[in-house]
Structure 1
Amino acid sequence: MLIEEQVTANLKNGVNTCFDCLRLLAEATARLTELNLQTVGATLTHGQSNALNALSAGGTRDRAAAQATFIAQAADTGQAYTRQLFDLVSASQAGFMRIVQTQGETYHQRMQALLDDVGKYAPAASEAAMTAWNPALTASSNALAGTLETPRQPGTANAERDLETADAAAAKAVRRTLERASQSAKR
């Protein structure tokens, strides 16, 4: 391959990669915006419904029940939002990792082609050195892929565990609030 063709191929690959990343970012931003709008809409609907119920409530007991209902709905909405946000971030991260992995594979193929080209024109005595480059190239490519994947796995597991802990704590807090509201309503 001529040097001009190699440079052009590298530039095209860089432009394609850049636009793949931008496309992924735009899609993630659109999904986040949609999620935010859905959450705000649900919160406003619940708030309006509960405000009307509280205003039409006959006594303290009914108002406390309406307030407890609003708190439970807000907690549920918050938990659903957090879950969906986590899924969105995980999917975006996986998309970026696919792009990086594809670039790593392309780099490996180019380096292999370069070594093959150099090997064709190298002196006969350098054959052993050229042969040693192939396993080194494969090992470095595998190490790069492992390095990119390894930090993502514990981070994702930790985030999911933290999310489950937060969900459990929020559910417990809502139960306590509902119990208090029902106890105060009985008085």
Structure 2
Amino acid sequence: MSFPDQIGAANKASIEAALTLANTAFSSAEKLATLNLNTARSILEDSVSNAKSLLGAKDAQELLALQASLAQPTIEKFVTYSRSVYEISAAAQEDVSKIFESQFGEINKNLTAALDKAAKSAPAGSDVAVAAVKSAIAAANSAYDSINKAAKQVAEIAEANVAAATSATVKAVGSASKAKKAA
């Protein structure tokens, strides 16, 4: 493959990657917009229903009991909404990471092929310089892999922490609601 063909192929791959990134961004934005609209509709419906229930209370004790019983579902919906936003964001980040990993791998492959081709036509004694560049590339790849693995571990830890915090919040609100009802 000639040098101009390589440049053309690289440009085509870059355009395809940019289109994939744009589609990922639009898809994530669409999912978030749908989630927000559905959540807003649900909140409006719940607010109307809750207001009707509260207006129907006959005394202060019934009003307090209703408030306590209405708080739990609201908190649970907020937690579910937050978890959904996190899941959409995490999925988008994962898709973007895959695209960049693919591009990085392609660039790495093309660079290695170009170095091998250059080494074949290079003057005698230049093999040391080519080996040094290949070694630098291997070190950069190793560092990239290590950083990538560490980022994935951080994401897994963050996801576990979000799940634990969500569970703790729901339990705490449930306990508080039960304590109010008992009082």
TM-score, normalized by the shorter chain, greater than 0.5: yes
Equivalent pair of 1:64/1:182 in contact (CA under 8 Å) = no
Name the counterpart of 2:61. Answer: 61
- The separation in 2 between residues aligned to 1:166 and 1:80, in whole angstroms, is 8
Q: Distance between the aligned counterparts of 2:142 and 2:22, measured in 1? A: 27
Output one character per residue of 1:51-101: Cα deviation in whole Å (capped at 9) or x when no partner. 222222322232222211221111010111111111111111111110110
Distance 1:32 1:163, change over 3 A: same
Q: Give distance in 2, aligned partners of 1:115 and 1:88.
A: 40
TM-score w.r.t. the length of structure 2 is 0.85
Which residue of 2 is the match for residue 151 of structure 1? Answer: 151
| 1:101 and 1:145 in contact (8 A); partners too | no
CA contact (8 A) 2:53 2:66 kept: yes
If the length of structure 1 is used for normalisation, what is the TM-score? 0.84
Q: Which amino acid aligns with 2:90?
A: S
Question: Match for residue 114 of structure 2?
Answer: 114
Deviations 1:18-48 (CA, angstroms, capped at 9, x unpaired):
1111111111111111111222222222222
1:98 partner amino acid:
K
CA contact (8 A) 2:75 2:173 kept: no
Q: Which runs of 5+ in 1 are unaligned?
A: none
Q: Hey, what does 2:94 align to over in structure 1?
A: 94
- The one-letter amino acid paired with 2:21 is C
- Counterpart amino acid of 1:94? E
**RMSD over aligned Cα, in angstroms?**
2.3
Confirm whether residue 76 of structure 1 aligns to residue 76 of structure 2.
yes
Asked if structure 2 preserves the Cα contact closer than 8 Å seen for 1:54 and 1:67, the reply is yes
SS of structure 2 residue aligned to 1:125: coil
Q: Which residue of 1 aligns with 2:179?
A: 179
d(CA) in 2 for partners of 1:108 and 1:153? Answer: 24
The one-letter code of the counterpart of 1:116 is D
Q: Contact 2:54/2:67 (CA < 8 Å) preserved in 1?
A: yes
Give the aligned length: 183
Deviations 1:98-137, CA, capped at 9 Å, x for gaps: 0110011001111111011102211233335434544442
- Is contact 1:104-1:145 (8 Å) kept? no
Moved over 3 A (4+): 127-136
Q: CA deviation at 1:169?
A: 3.6
User: Could you tell me which residue of structure 2 aligns to residue 13 of structure 1?
Assistant: 13
Deviates more, 1:63-72 or 1:96-105: 63-72
CA distance in 2, matches of 1:45, 1:181: 25
**Alpha-carbon distance in structure 1 between the residues aligned to 2:122 and 2:165:** 61
Distance, in Å, in 1 between the alignment partners of 2:43 and 2:65 is 18
1:23 match:
23
The sequence identity of aligned pairs, in percent, is 21
